[in-house]
Structure 1
Amino acid sequence: MDAKFFKLLLLGGVVRFYFSRTPLAAMIGNRVEFATPLNSHKRMQEGIFLLQSGIDPYQGDLVHETPLILSALSGLFQKYPHLLPAFYIILDVFTAALLYLMSRRFVRQKQEQQTTEQKHYAKDTAELQFSDLDKYDIPELVIVAYLFNPLTVMNCIGMTSTVISNLFLASFLYCLVKGLLLPCLLVLAFETVRSFYPIVLIAPLLLVFSHNSIRRGLVITLLFIASCLGVAYANFLVLNSWNFLDGTLGFIFYFRDLQPNIGLFWYFFTEMFEHFRTMFLITFQLNATVLYLLPLSIKLRKEPLLLATVLVALMTVFRAYPSLGDVGFYLALLPLWKRCWKFMAHGFVVFTFFLVTLSMMGALWHLWIYAGSANANFYFGATLAFSTGQIFLITDLLFAHVKREFCLFKGQKIWIDGVEARIVLK
């Protein structure tokens, strides 16, 4: 860690602090693109107030944060509310620091792996291999992509609990790369009990720690289940009630709040007939969790961190209550795969999708809700296009990784009878 690292952290904190003092912070806290029923700052305030008043926060359908988080933050919310922006800024900056440290360790591991495999590489693949400069460039790109992405900045100043989720996910990735099994299990269990979808990250965890041993994998799986049960029981002790399970995991799975967001659930469940709800509910939840888990785990069994990145991105796209803060997190992981960028063919298309759809969301929301000159189809069209852009990005990254792996060992040029093959249009 050098002086540049600390300067970036300081600058990222200053940017967040500046915008937290502007009217933009209050506006972001009310925007459906950032604040959902799960991560809303207002709902967390309500939950803490009910908890402090001796009322079960989960008797109604307003609070969906876990009792441990509500209890841990109650003192800060009640006694020092003026310090809340600084608290969220510190958490977000710490998340960036963890991503930086994780990426440094990752590049070092890839270079060690490359040293053992290099004798099998083709001769014309130097630009596809990790270089000494990558030890500095990639971590810097990661920390810049997180600290100065407008999505993560606005997510932070809006004080959504996605800031906490990003911290747990960054901690998981750091422990995964460092090879710390127990912290990895505990962090993943805690986040799984909070938001359900991170359960899919058990796959990269098993790839890293099981060492191709089925017995060891079963033991780790049992430890993960025990960790989840332990976290659930700790939440039970706060309220002496299991109501929180229905208010958190049950609320997510059954999708009870149809408030619009950037995801795909709300529009379908608003428009469909009620007797189809169970079928579509199971279909959508399978799509967001286990549908892609096995094939991706098989294909990326040698790249657990890439598998984790793709799974985080997929659960962001397909989860019940996504927010732009979730999107900002996985975008910060893309520089890890800098050596694949040469083969990513849809960069301009994805950038255009993101730019246009993010610009249109605010305008179409205003036309629908305030001006009354549009309807839900307009807003959903923008969010559907945004999700499509994300899918283009994820598939482009996967194809780029496959192409890079092929070219590393087979070469970037194809030779036929000693002559370089060329595609000629006639």
Structure 2
Amino acid sequence: MNSNYYKLLLLGGAVRLYFSQTSLAPLIGNRVEFATPLNSFKRLQEGVFLLQQGVDPYRGDLVHESPLLLKALSGILINYAQVLPLLYILLDLCTATLLYLLGITFVKQKLQQQKGECEDYAKDTEELQYNDEDKSHIAELVLLAYLFNPLTIMSCIGLTSTVLSNLLLALILYSMVKRQLLICTVLLAFETVRNLYPFVLIAPLILLFARRSVPMGIAIFMIFVTSCFAVAGANFLVMNSWNYLDGTLGFIFFFRDLQPNIGLFWYFFTEMFEHFRTMFLITFQLNATVLYLVPLSLKLRKEPLLLATVLIALMAVFRAYPSLGDVGFYLALLPLWRRCWKFMAHGFVVFTFFLITLSMMGAFWHLWIYAGSANANFYFGATLAFSTGQIFLITDLLFAHVKREFCLYNGQKIMINGEEARILLE
């Protein structure tokens, strides 16, 4: 870790600390773009209070955090509530550090991989290959992308539990590149019992550790399932009841709260006839989980970390209760694929989508809820466009990766009948 790392980390912490002391912090904590029924700090407070009073917080439909976290945070919330913003900032800085170390380790592994493959590379592909400078440069880009992204900053100062989810995801990815199977599997099980959707990350784990060994793949899956049951059992010991399963995983799957957010569920299920709900609920949940899992796993079987990145991005788009903090996390992973950026053709379009739609969300929410001069269609239109921009970004990254792989072995200039040909993916 060089001096730039410490400077950036201190600056990122200072920015978060400054904004956490302003009136922006409670405002962000109430914004539907950042605070959802799953990650809202107010709901977490309510759950801790009910737990301390000996009341089951999952009897109602307000608390949806896991019992283990409620128990872990109860002492801090009750006795040291004033230092809670500092705790969230420290957790966010830990996430940034893990992503920085992830970047360094990832580039080292890429350089080692290239040593065995470089003989097969075309001559004009030096700019597409990782080099020694990337070890520090890419890691710093990842650090910058996380520490100074307004989405992650505001998610932190709003005290959303997305900060905890981002930390767990960073730990999972770092454990992946360090080849620590047991730690990675246990962490994934814990996050799966909390938020359901991360279970799809078992696919890159199996691809990374099984190495085409079917028995090993089955063993990893069984370890994951066993870990999930162990975490569920630990939650049961805290509550002495299984009610939390319906209040957490059941709440997510059945989508009981139609509060608006940046996702695609709420508007559709608000407008839909009730007797169609089950069919479309299953369809939407399949789209958010396993629909893309097999084809992406087959295509990216040699790049487990890229597969994990894409799956995390798709979760942020299609999950039932997404927040902008989820988007900020996967955006910080994009610098890992800096050598693909040359082939990403929609950067300006995606940036424009993000800039305009994020600006429109706040304006349309005010017009709809406060001014009464708009309706839900306005706000959903902005969130739909935002999701479209994210899909453009994800597909652009996938196409760029495929083009880079092709050019590494075939050269960047393909000549047909003496003329340079364009590489198109259809």
What do the CA deviations read for 1:342-365 (whole angstroms, capped 9, x no partner)?
Answer: 000000000000000000000000
Q: Which residue is equivalent to 2:4?
A: 4
What do the CA deviations read for 1:39-67 (whole angstroms, capped 9, x no partner)?
Answer: 00000000000000000000000000000
Distance 1:215 1:422, change over 3 A: closer
CA distance in 2, matches of 1:330, 1:415: 37
What do the CA deviations read for 1:143-179 (whole angstroms, capped 9, x no partner)?
Answer: 0000000000000000000000000000000000000
Counterparts of 1:164-179 in structure 2, within 5 Å, are: 164-179=164-179
CA distance in 2, matches of 1:216, 1:129: 32
| Aligned residue type for 1:79 | N
| Aligned residue type for 1:412 | Q
CA apart distance, 1:8: 1.0
Instruction: Give yes or no for contact 1:413–1:420 (8 Å, CA) kept in 2.
Output: no
What do the CA deviations read for 1:320-359 (whole angstroms, capped 9, x no partner)?
Answer: 0000000000000000000000000000000000000000
Counterparts of 1:8-407 in structure 2, within 5 Å, are: 8-407=8-407
Instruction: Give yes or no for contact 1:44–1:63 (8 Å, CA) kept in 2.
Output: yes
CA distance in 2, matches of 1:131, 1:167: 28
Q: Which runs of 5+ in 1 are unaligned?
A: none
Instruction: Give yes or no for contact 1:32–1:261 (8 Å, CA) kept in 2.
Output: yes
CA apart distance, 1:286: 0.0
CA distance in 1, matches of 2:187, 2:244: 19
SS at match of 1:84: helix
What is the TM-score when the length of structure 2 is the normalising length? 0.98
| Aligned residue type for 2:361 | M
Counterparts of 1:409-424 in structure 2, within 5 Å, are: 409-416=409-416, 419-421=418-420
Instruction: Give yes or no for contact 1:253–1:285 (8 Å, CA) kept in 2.
Output: yes
Instruction: Give yes or no for contact 2:191–2:198 (8 Å, CA) kept in 1.
Output: yes
Instruction: Give yes or no for contact 2:204–2:297 (8 Å, CA) kept in 1.
Output: yes
Instruction: Give yes or no for contact 1:188–1:199 (8 Å, CA) kept in 2.
Output: yes
CA apart distance, 1:6: 1.2
SS at match of 1:421: strand
- Please provide the CA RMSD for this pair: 0.7
SS at match of 1:333: helix
CA apart distance, 1:416: 3.1
Instruction: Give yes or no for contact 2:95–2:166 (8 Å, CA) kept in 1.
Output: yes
CA apart distance, 1:422: 5.3
What do the CA deviations read for 1:92-151 (whole angstroms, capped 9, x no partner)?
Answer: 000000000011000000010011000000011011000111111100000000000000
What do the CA deviations read for 1:350-401 (whole angstroms, capped 9, x no partner)?
Answer: 0000000000000000000000000000000000000000000000000000
Instruction: Give yes or no for contact 1:48–1:71 (8 Å, CA) kept in 2.
Output: yes
| Aligned residue type for 1:387 | S
CA distance in 1, matches of 2:39, 2:415: 55
What do the CA deviations read for 1:226-281 (whole angstroms, capped 9, x no partner)?
Answer: 00000000000001000000000000000000000000000000000000000000
CA distance in 1, matches of 2:414, 2:367: 54
CA apart distance, 1:420: 4.0
CA apart distance, 1:90: 0.2
CA distance in 1, matches of 2:5, 2:401: 28
| Aligned residue type for 2:388 | T
Instruction: Give yes or no for contact 1:297–1:307 (8 Å, CA) kept in 2.
Output: yes
Instruction: Give yes or no for contact 2:98–2:170 (8 Å, CA) kept in 1.
Output: yes
CA distance in 1, matches of 2:420, 2:33: 49
Instruction: Give yes or no for contact 2:128–2:404 (8 Å, CA) kept in 1.
Output: yes
* Runs of 4+ with deviation above 3 angstroms: none
Instruction: Give yes or no for contact 2:25–2:157 (8 Å, CA) kept in 1.
Output: yes
Instruction: Give yes or no for contact 1:25–1:158 (8 Å, CA) kept in 2.
Output: yes
Instruction: Give yes or no for contact 2:142–2:332 (8 Å, CA) kept in 1.
Output: yes
Instruction: Give yes or no for contact 1:195–1:249 (8 Å, CA) kept in 2.
Output: yes
Instruction: Give yes or no for contact 2:346–2:396 (8 Å, CA) kept in 1.
Output: yes
CA apart distance, 1:421: 2.3
